[in-house]
Structure 1
Amino acid sequence: MKNILYVEDDVEIGQIVNEDLEQRGYKVRWLTSGNRVGEVIGEADIVILDVMLPGLDGFTVGQRIKRNHPDIPILMLSARTSVEDKLEGLQFADDYVTKPFHPEELAARIEVLLRRHRRAVHDAIQIGHLTIHMVENRIVSSDGNEILLTAKQHQIFMYLVRHPNQILTKEQLYEGVWEEPYMDGDKTLMVHIRHLREKIEIDPSTPTIIETIRGIGYRVKQ
């Protein structure tokens, strides 16, 4: 069963879409704002996102999702039909459907995105002595033991893994994981990286998985 994260503040439309998708066999988590998206995004196989939301608008929420979880397809669902809005949405989203729409069309577009996503997902990524099972969110060392991380350690590591060979600054990592502005001098990220290395590195004093790029930030080479 595929999990859909559906963000829509219009109760009438939300109920119709929610019921239709559940009847088609999907498990739907319906939110009426983007406030709790970060708490439940890890469960989602696909995100359906309205543009006009209370608080943060759908474009902002969608950009954050794609930045932190680039593997999760996003379908924008909006009454805003201008070319400018569509182009803005498609800068990060995988599809853009305008209201009103037919449930059959929405279901067909969801299936297309899920098929495309299944082809794109690499179940296992090998980095050094680690095997990262992307779909299952598991990390296994070469001795066969599963490495258990805290939620924040897992977020940091997966953020690096999803940007292989890219040098990420402390600011990028902090803002990508915590979704808050980085304060110069803050040691929070450094402390989390140290504890993360103690779990995933063979020799934490000489790390080979998470490289420190002196004066810039960190990188995971693949």
Structure 2
Amino acid sequence: MEETIILLIDDEPSIVQMLRMVLQKEGFRHIDSAGTAQQALELCKQKKYDIILLDVMLPDRNGFELCPFLRETTDAPILFITAKGSDLEKLTGFAMGGDDYITKPFNPLEVVARMKAQMRRTKPYQYDNGRPSVIPNPVYHFGRFQVDERAGELLVEGKPVACPAQVYQLLLYFCKHPNQIFTKNQLYEAVWGEESMGDDNTVTVHIGRIRERIEKDPKNPEYLLTVRGLGYKLIYKEREA
């Protein structure tokens, strides 16, 4: 079975030790940790991680400030861990490049469950008797851009574009359902796997991040359109495809 490589970024040894112990019991063996932002950046330059847990309060730099720098070297899902749970904090985390948000105090098993959910969405593999085999997934062509589901890759005008996990999953969902209108609640439930509970802003932020990548002018989108009063839809332009 393919090994998952995890990075824990937290300056509290007790939390790191607890998470490491729970993760090891769940079968994860490759777990690195960093107590500062600088250490985390160095590790990400040296190694490719599959998922990152990032504490917001670090001694040398705020986790929100660190996240964009991590995004320069990795597209791995980033889960923020913080003692604050306000809507503003969550929106800040998503806007900075995060994929999920966990509030202290937390149940370590919930953390593991959220990690596994993120990895299921980002790894295009299934396992047969412990051996990974590639799932035969298609490539979605939309003229200016294309999404390769098997490679987990977004290409814009033929060039690969970095795309954080949750942004990619939302875009992939649109690609699988072109020319269909979806409400924010429908998108949240389909991509995040749970009811939105009125958390519309999360979808709005991720829609903006998709447009920044696929549109020539994100303020005047040609592909990912807003349908006033109804929701969003991704246009399949047959004449370009």
Instruction: Report the TM-score range of the alignment, normalised by the length of the smaller protein.
Output: 0.5 to 0.7
Q: Which has the larger radius of gyration?
A: 1
Cα distance in 2 for residues equivalent to 1:162 and 1:11:
36
3-state DSSP of counterpart to 1:36: helix
Q: Which residue of 2 aligns with 1:203?
A: none
Q: Which runs of 5+ in 2 are unaligned?
A: 126-133, 140-150, 153-158, 164-241
1:8 to 7, 10, 21: 10
CA contact (8 A) 1:18 1:30 kept: no
Q: Which residue of 1 aligns with 2:68?
A: 63
CA contact (8 A) 2:22 2:109 kept: no
Q: Which residue of 1 aligns with 2:112?
A: 107
Q: Which residue of 1 aligns with 2:48?
A: 43
Aligned: 1:33 with 2:16: no
The size of the alignment, in residue pairs, is 131
3-state DSSP of counterpart to 1:113: helix
Q: Which residue of 2 aligns with 1:86?
A: 90
Cα distance in 1 for residues equivalent to 2:162 and 2:77:
17
Aligned: 1:77 with 2:81: yes
Partner letter of residue 122 of structure 2?
A: H
Q: Which residue of 2 aligns with 1:150?
A: none
Q: TM-score scaled to structure 1, two decimals?
A: 0.53
Computed over aligned residues only, the root mean square deviation of the Cα atoms, in angstroms, reads 2.9
TM-aligned CA deviation for residue 162 of structure 1: 3.5
Cα distance in 2 for residues equivalent to 1:19 and 1:58:
23
Cα distance in 1 for residues equivalent to 2:82 and 2:113:
17
3-state DSSP of counterpart to 2:37: coil
TM-aligned CA deviation for residue 68 of structure 1: 3.5
TM-aligned CA deviation for residue 163 of structure 1: 5.1
**Against the structure 1 CA distance between its residues 162 and 79, is the aligned structure 2 distance closer, same or farther, given a 3 Å change threshold?**
same
Identity of aligned residues (%): 32
Q: Which runs of 5+ in 1 are unaligned?
A: 126-133, 136-159, 165-222
1:98 to 92, 96, 103: 103
Q: TM-score scaled to structure 2, two decimals?
A: 0.49
Partner letter of residue 81 of structure 1?
A: G
TM-aligned CA deviation for residue 14 of structure 1: 1.6
